[in-house]
Amino acid sequence: MTNISNTKPIYVAAADIHEWARACAQSVGADAGVAQHIATYLLEGDLLGFRTHGLLRLRYNLECLRDGRSRASGEPLVLKDRKAVASWDAQLLPGLYVLPKAIDAACDKAKSCGTGTIVIRRAQHVASLAAYLSLATDRGFMISMFASTPGQRAVAPFGSKQAVFSPNPFAIGVPTQTQPILLDMSLSMTAAGKVRQAIAEERPLPFAGLITPGGEYTNDATTFLADPPSVLASLGGKDLGYKGSGLTLFSELWTMALSNYGRRQGSEDGDANTVWLQVLDPSAFGDQEEFLTESQAQLDAILAATPIDANQPVRVPGSNAIALKKQQLAEGVSYTPAVWRQLEKCAVMCGVDLPEVISKP
């Protein structure tokens, strides 16, 4: 155990923490490929700044592998395949293992058909969608992704105070002439993780993103743990929540209805996800260089827009994440003491010592 401060971040070399996480996964039975993917795509979440879906989730993944909620080896089952699309059953293999494979398959289909679409049922928790986007953008392709959770109900449809939907992430990746555009967002006003974080920090949410059993929109995070609890509101809130509600319905239909695997089948599946992913080959629609010129023009137009606050330049989705990854690869990945304590628990569980802490240059 490293002797660590209660407040200062801990830094560790990316390669070291990757190797450690891989060894942890292998120690609980994951085969080589599964262990490698778990380490790579959880770490990628940390590198890009999606801390709630980074190695903080290693412990959950290890527990699932140990107790059989995740399969430790094997391959997804192809349920159906037609030229440009396929439907897979991940059979509770880690989403971290299955999604990169699915993106690969979708890229191959996009090359021959223009688009490639894979829907996947029963992928054990997929963590952050952002972590996978560059698998497509690095090949010059566009990608869109949805994930839903048949075992969860947390988001109320507009006009209701009862949770029906899961809090579904949506992500896109688009190559440009410079850095890719990477967007990963939830379609609800906020996510359960952010509400729990507010509770832990004893502060209200910055906006009224919850609906109480009385039907009031509130920023009081503690209502989320009350009995009965509040539920997550759809993007758009009190005035325009029908838009966010419609978008969440979009994500539920494109995942659960299309895969024929929804709440009727998967209500006991815990955090397992149903996933939609689609890769597009821009050269099937036009000219690849022309496409990159257009996407770059979009990026440039956003960066050139007059900011509301002169000290806050307008940002392009993904730019902070990409800068943070570059910095952390060079200077070390940073963890809060709270997350580091979770990693220490994994180290004990697996009997694999955490790597050396480094000092920030």
Out of 40, 160, 178, 222, the residue judged to bind a second copy by CB under 8 A: 160
Nearer to a second copy, 238 or 345 (CB): 238
- The reply on whether position 228 binds a second copy by CB under 8 A is no
Residues of span 27-66 touching a second copy by CB under 8 A: none
Is residue 243 at the binding interface for a second copy, with CB under 8 A as the rule? yes
Q: CA triplet 351, 66, 148: central angle to 5 degrees? A: 125
- 235 vs 4, 129, 144, 211, 302, CA distance in Å? 39, 19, 19, 12, 22
- Is there binding between residue 82 and a second copy (CB under 8 A)? yes
Taking CB under 8 A as the criterion, which residues in 101-120 touch a second copy?
Answer: 112-115, 117, 119
Nearest-angstrom CA–CA distance, 321 and 130: 9
Q: Judged by CB under 8 A, does residue 141 bind a second copy?
A: no
242 near a second copy, judged by CB under 8 A? yes
Pair 153, 163: CB distance under 8 Å: yes
* Chosen residue from 239, 311, 356, 359 binding a second copy by CB under 8 A: 239
Site for a second copy in 164-183 (CB under 8 A): 164, 172, 174, 181, 183
Asked if 263 is part of the footprint of a second copy (rule: CB under 8 A), the reply reads: yes
Sign of CA dihedral 22, 24, 25, 26: positive
Q: Which is it for the CA torsion 45, 46, 47, 50, positive or negative?
A: positive
Which part of the chain contacts a second copy (CB under 8 A), choosing from 45-53, 55-63, 300-308, 324-332? Answer: 300-308
Please say whether the beta carbons of 12 and 356 come within 8 A: yes
Q: Which of 211, 221, 272, 352 binds a second copy (CB under 8 A)?
A: 211
Only segment of 43-51, 61-69, 131-139, 298-306 that touches a second copy (CB under 8 A): 298-306
Q: Judged by CB under 8 A, how many residues of this single chain contact a second copy?
A: 84
Of positions 161, 179, 192, 197, contacts a second copy by CB under 8 A: 161
Give the contacts of 8 (CB within 8 A, at least 6 positions apart). 337
| Cα angle: 103, vertex 134, 42; to 5 degrees | 85
> Given CA atoms 280, 281, 285, 287 in this order, what sign does their dihedral have?
positive
